[in-house]
Copies of this chain bind each other. A is one copy, B any other.
């Protein structure tokens, strides 16, 4: 199956390749008759111009790299979808680069990020957006920073919900601290005083920011968070189960739990159910992220929406502007939003 090229079309149409190129790209006027002859041949052979050759000369590929930590974590498909809907409108196609790493693999997550950044540049993507991994670390390795800096010098590079210290990279992000304040205030308004905060990783900046928000909201209400109710280092359902089980075994125990993400909150729901503790009657649980499933648990999860889809959409829009060398703000901030559902309720008197 010989692949047909502009030359084949040109020859059969008795024109030069330049003319074929012109009708292909509508880049210069072509006599109607000639144009139709060429179009007919294109149709006849189902001719599709080779995008590689085209990109090689045009120096733009219409391809973007999207780096994220784990597509099976329900938060990420949501931002990806937001990004997708917007990016495709503008004619971009994107490489999905999942940096998830199992223990059996030779490369860890950060090494894979490095690998992908480099790979994407070789593929000549028009831009890169990155999410998670090293940009969530509060103190990433200098080498990790340098790599991204380097890359950003060569190609538009956008960080989503994360940042790299000391580096003025473009980013779009939700205000993580504010989200935590919202969650905590909600609990406070329901009369809770004994509030635990579980989940997250102490080495991650998102966790630190959320915890900051929690503490500051507590303090503003004259409350001092209890150390033994602050259980960190886990973002999974299993971790949520574990943290909550521990909490429920304590004396005194909290009347409300602020979970640093929805997965942990789902684990909390599970642990409460196992322990025979009713939610929200005996225990209020609030999550963070507002993943799709938060609306489907029983009871439905009260949570803070990080506006995942909006972050994604903005990312596509912003990256597009960067690619077009238009001016964009260094930081585009998105406001989180409290979503009240069923897992929180007023504290019981004399509980």
A81 with B72: CB separation less than 8 A: yes
What CA separation (Å) do A84 and B97 show in the bound complex? Answer: 9
Q: Is A191 an interface residue (CB 8 A)?
A: no
Q: Is A114 an interface residue (CB 8 A)?
A: no
Complex interface bits, A270-313 against B, C-beta within 8 A gives 1, otherwise 0: 10010000000000000000001100111000000000000000
Q: Which of A170-195 contact B (CB under 8 A)?
A: none
With contact pairs A52-B124, A56-B53, A298-B297 given, residues A71 and B84 touching in the complex (Cβ less than 8 Å): yes
Name the contact of A51 in the complex, choosing from B97, B98, B124, B293 (C-beta under 8 A). B124
Q: Which of A82-96 contact B (CB under 8 A)?
A: 84-85, 88, 93-96
Residues of B near A97 (CB, < 8 A) are 93
B55 with A52: CB separation less than 8 A: yes
Residues of B near A53 (CB, < 8 A) are 56
Q: Which of A286-343 contact B (CB under 8 A)?
A: 292-293, 296-298
Residues of B near A100 (CB, < 8 A) are 81, 84-85
Name the contact of A298 in the complex, choosing from B48, B123, B270 (C-beta under 8 A). B270
What CA separation (Å) do A84 and B76 show in the bound complex? Answer: 15
Q: Is A50 an interface residue (CB 8 A)?
A: yes
Residues of B near A16 (CB, < 8 A) are none
Interface centre among A53, A76, A77, A85 (most CB of B within 10 A): A77
B121 with A98: CB separation less than 8 A: no
Q: Is A49 an interface residue (CB 8 A)?
A: yes
Closest residue of chain B to A55 (Cβ to Cβ) is B52
Q: How many protomers of this protein does the assembly include? A: 2
What CA separation (Å) do A48 and B293 show in the bound complex? Answer: 42
B154 with A1: CB separation less than 8 A: yes
Complex interface bits, A47-75 against B, C-beta within 8 A gives 1, otherwise 0: 01111110110000101001000111010
Residues of B near A153 (CB, < 8 A) are 1
> What's the minimum C-beta distance from A250 to chain B, rounded to whole angstroms?
23
B95 with A94: CB separation less than 8 A: yes
What CA separation (Å) do A52 and B52 show in the bound complex? Answer: 5
A95 with B98: CB separation less than 8 A: no
With contact pairs A46-B150, A118-B48, A122-B50 given, residues A298 and B298 touching in the complex (Cβ less than 8 Å): yes
A123 with B51: CB separation less than 8 A: yes
Q: Is A42 an interface residue (CB 8 A)?
A: no
20 contacts across the A-B interface (CB closer than 8 A): A48-B118, A48-B121, A48-B122, A50-B124, A51-B122, A52-B123, A53-B56, A63-B123, A72-B77, A72-B81, A74-B293, A81-B100, A84-B100, A85-B100, A85-B102, A93-B97, A95-B95, A237-B296, A269-B298, A297-B297
B96 with A84: CB separation less than 8 A: yes
The 5 closest A-B pairs by CB, nearest first: A96-B96, A51-B122, A71-B77, A52-B56, A51-B123
Q: Is A119 an interface residue (CB 8 A)?
A: yes
> What's the minimum C-beta distance from A41 to chain B, rounded to whole angstroms?
17
> What's the minimum C-beta distance from A33 to chain B, rounded to whole angstroms?
27
Q: Is A78 an interface residue (CB 8 A)?
A: yes
Residues of B near A124 (CB, < 8 A) are 50-52
What CA separation (Å) do A270 and B51 show in the bound complex? Answer: 49
What CA separation (Å) do A119 and B88 show in the bound complex? Answer: 12
A292 with B72: CB separation less than 8 A: yes
A52 with B46: CB separation less than 8 A: no
Residues of B near A55 (CB, < 8 A) are 52
